[in-house]
Amino acid sequence: MYADPVHIRSKRVNLSLNSTEMRVVEAMAELHGVQPSVFIRELAMEALKHLHGSKSATGAEEKRRAYA
């Protein structure tokens, strides 16, 4: 089915939300035209990229100052 088996998503994470949080997720997912689980996964991956990018940039800047 997949050209590259690495892209098969088989790892699961349980997430508990209250009814208000779930309504927000469902509304945003509907607005973006995706399923709630897809919306949450994409949101989490973007947040991780942002966190990794900001930490990497900070570390690189500190290294540049140390060796200047």
Read off the pTM: 0.69
Tell me the pLDDT tens digit for each residue of 30-48: 999 999 999 999 999 999 9
List, for the chain, all residue ranges whose pLDDT scores fall below the cut of 50.
none
Residue 13 CA to residue 48 CA, distance in Å, equals 15
Q: Over the chain, what is the mean pLDDT?
A: 86
**Tell me, what's the pLDDT at 58?**
56
Residue partners of 39: CB distance under 8 A and separation at least 6: 25, 28, 29, 32
